[in-house]
């Protein structure tokens, strides 16, 4: 039995959260598994180790939670996020019943039209904050309408979603400050009823499914919670990253403009290049050996999605952003039984935004992006667009 | 040459459709959005087997296996 290499890196230090990639490169060189005493975790750093772990829920269990503090893991008990088969199977089915691509097929036209109208309006104004005006506004509107949120709740969605992800981190000040706000979301979801959600919405459909016994009693509230907690924050990150990367690489935008069939691949490359989620956790259900080193049973594991996505053992020239690469097997949406449940909707939104940008914009002139450290989600806080060169 | 079987875990499939893009000659989503395997057996080492392996590889929820 060989112990993994150790590093004094703190995955949740401000500078690492803001730009984790130099740290990821150093950890990857140490080994596929690196013990981080500062965070009491074993970090998975290389592509194959991460992909294998995501595919092996029996060893890398989610049942003891995916967060890095006991309070959040306790709060997640009973969700598909924090369970393993067989319990997970019914919870996941209830969550995806109205969220799978087959359920969303009718929405594409509406989402495309909204993205196009939004981008057209902004191109006409010429200067705006890309994060506020697109990355936050668009998923917020889509998810709110889909789930049927009305009135006051819409105003809370961004702050609630941010806090719900922040508390996945260890018990640092960011987590402590966010628990009360995440609690507001939790309480609201515990009390929400069918009539609080718009008629004909997916949210109301979930309550109707509960009424007719298609999903377990009491599961509607937690599902609404997951829509809100996962459906906004990470999509805001991904769409902000699309705009920032296409602005920073006008040659890559030009390739998409010339060949719109590159749109899905361009989104895959954005997700690969900048993973929206820095790290989520698992717990080893048994002792496991990876690349000749041993992780003990009952250990907390940190899955570094972005480190695997930049592993030169898997991707050639991994630090280059190239829309023609089409890395369909990137790790940013997870993989296997816990693969992102909202990825169908995320694709609809992201493809619509890339398509609208590619048709209407030749080049975006942007100022400096600012970032604020967040325990789980890596996203741009603001990105001023100074000038739009229209198509 | 050995025969490989494409196995679909139907309840786990959510209809993301990435497999169809990887192997359009072997499988497709029907009008209901359910995956249909048009070819379930492929010969090892053939282009069909490579397409099947690619489809298995891209399934985001690991609903396909090649055995």
Candidate from A101, A103, A328 with C-beta closest to B58: A328
- Look at residues A205, A214, A86, A67 and name the one whose alpha carbon lies nearest to residue A148: A205
Note the residue count of chain B: 67
Does the beta-carbon distance from A344 to B57 stay under 8 Å? Answer: no
Residue pair A358/A386 in contact by the 8 Å Cβ criterion: no
Interchain pair B62, A339: CB under 8 A: yes
A248 in contact with chain B, both atoms CB, cutoff 8 A: no
Note whether B66 and B53 are within 8 A (CB). yes
Cβ distance B32 to A102 less than 8 Å, yes or no, reads yes
User: Which has more pLDDT, A43 or A80?
Assistant: A43
pLDDT at A1 over 80: no
Would you say the pTM of this structure is higher than 0.90?
Answer: yes
Please report the residues numbered 93 through 122 in chain A whose beta carbons come closer than 8 angstroms to any beta carbon of chain B.
Answer: 93, 96, 100-103, 105
User: How far apart are alpha carbons A66 and A300 in whole angstroms?
Assistant: 9
Q: Which residues on B lie below 8 Å from A333 (Cβ)?
A: 60
Q: With an 8 Å Cβ cutoff, is B65 touching chain A?
A: no
Note whether B53 contacts A: Cβ–Cβ < 8 A: no
Closest CA to A123 of A297, A362, A335: A362
User: What mean pLDDT is predicted for residues A80-89?
Assistant: 92
pLDDT digits (tens, 9 = 90+) for B5-62: 999 999 899 999 999 999 999 999 998 889 999 999 999 999 999 999 999 999 999 9
How far from the centroid of its chain's Cα atoms is residue A15's Cα?
20
Interchain proximity A100–B14, CB inside 8 Å = yes
Alpha-helix residue ranges (DSSP H) falling in B23-65: 47-58
CA B12, CA A336: separation in Å to the nearest integer?
9
Question: B12 and chain A: CB distance < 8 Å anywhere?
Answer: yes
**Which of B21, B31, B61 best probes binding to A when mutated, by most A CB atoms within 10 angstroms?**
B61
Question: What is the spatial distance between Cα A168 and Cα A233, in angstroms, rounded to a whole number?
Answer: 13
pLDDT given at position B64: 97
Q: Does A369 or A206 have the greater pLDDT score?
A: A369
Q: Are B65 and B57 in contact (CB under 8 A)?
A: no
The mean pLDDT value of chain A amounts to 95
Residue A264: predicted pLDDT: 97
Backbone φ and ψ for A20, nearest 5 degrees, come out as -80, -10
Residue of chain A minimizing CA distance to B63: A336
Q: Which of A54, A60, A101 to mutate to test the interface with B (most CBs of B within 10 A)?
A: A101
Which stretch of DSSP H or E encloses residue A295? Answer: strand A293-295
Return the residue in A51, A272, A328 with the most chain B beta carbons within 10 A, the one to mutate for interface testing: A328
Which residues, 6+ apart, have CB-to-CB distance to A106 below 8 Å?
none
Query: Of A243, A266, A278, A181, whose CA–CA distance to A380 is shortest?
Result: A243
pLDDT at A121: 97
* Residue A105: CB atoms within 10 Å: 16
Entry field: residues in chain A = 391
Beta bridge partners of A5: none
Please report which helix (H) or strand (E) contains residue B24, including its range: none
- Residues of B in Cβ contact (< 8 Å) with A103: 33
Interface membership of B66 toward A (CB under 8 Å): no
* Cβ distance of B62 and A344 shorter than 8 Å: no
| H-helix or E-strand spanning residue A235 | helix A233-248
pLDDT tens for each residue of A106-158 = 899 999 999 999 999 999 999 999 999 999 999 999 999 999 998 888 999 99
pLDDT at A143: 93
Contact state of A336 with B61 under an 8 Å Cβ cutoff: yes
Is the Cβ pair B62, A105 closer than 8 Å? Answer: no
């Amino acid at each position: 039995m060989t112990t993994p290499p150790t590093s004094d890196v703190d995955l949740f230090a401000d500078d690492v959260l803001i730009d984790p990639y130099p740290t990821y490169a150093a950890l990857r060189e140490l080994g596929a598994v690196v013990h981080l005493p500062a965070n009491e975790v074993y970090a998975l750093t290389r592509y194959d180790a991460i992909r294998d772990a995501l595919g092996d829920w029996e060893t890398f269990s989610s049942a003891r939670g995916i967060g890095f503090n006991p309070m959040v893991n306790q709060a997640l008990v009973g969700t598909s996020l924090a369970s393993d088969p067989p319990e997970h199977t019914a919870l996941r089915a209830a969550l995806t019943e109205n969220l799978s691509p087959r359920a969303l097929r009718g929405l594409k036209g509406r989402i495309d039209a909204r993205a196009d109208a939004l981008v057209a309006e902004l191109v006409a104004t010429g200067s705006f904050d890309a994060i506020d005006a697109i990355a936050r506004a668009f998923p917020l509107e889509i998810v709110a309408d889909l789930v049927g949120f009305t009135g006051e709740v819409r105003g809370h969605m961004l702050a609630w979603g941010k806090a719900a992800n922040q508390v996945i981190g260890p018990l640092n000040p960011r987590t402590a400050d966010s628990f009360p706000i995440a609690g507001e979301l939790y309480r609201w979801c515990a009390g929400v009823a069918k009539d609080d959600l718009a008629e004909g919405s997916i949210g109301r459909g979930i309550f109707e499914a509960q009424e007719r016994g298609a999903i377990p009693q009491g599961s509607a509230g937690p599902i609404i919670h997951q829509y809100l907690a996962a459906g906004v924050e990470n999509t805001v990150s991904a769409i902000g990253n699309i705009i920032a990367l296409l602005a920073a690489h006008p040659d890559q935008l030009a390739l998409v403009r010339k060949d719109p069939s590159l749109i899905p691949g361009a989104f895959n490359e954005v997700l690969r290049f900048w993973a929206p989620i820095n790290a989520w956790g698992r717990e080893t259900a048994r002792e496991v050996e990876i690349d000749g080193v041993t992780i003990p049973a009952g250990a907390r594991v940190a899955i570094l999605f972005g480190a695997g996505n930049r592993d030169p053992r898997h991707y050639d020239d991994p630090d280059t952003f190239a829309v023609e690469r089409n890395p369909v097997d990137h790790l940013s949406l997870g993989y296997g039984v816990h693969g992102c449940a909202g990825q169908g909707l995320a694709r609809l939104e992201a493809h619509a935004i890339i398509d609208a940008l590619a048709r209407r914009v030749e080049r975006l002139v942007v100022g400096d992006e600012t970032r604020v450290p967040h325990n789980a989600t890596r996203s741009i806080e603001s990105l001023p667009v100074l000038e739009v060169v229209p198509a | 040459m050995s025969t490989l079987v494409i196995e679909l875990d139907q309840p786990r499939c959510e209809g993301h459709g990435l497999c169809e893009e990887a192997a359009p000659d072997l499988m497709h989503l029907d009008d209901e959005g359910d995956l249909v395997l048009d070819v379930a057996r492929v010969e090892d080492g053939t282009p069909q087997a490579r397409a099947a392996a690619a489809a298995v590889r891209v399934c985001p929820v690991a609903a396909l296996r090649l055995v």
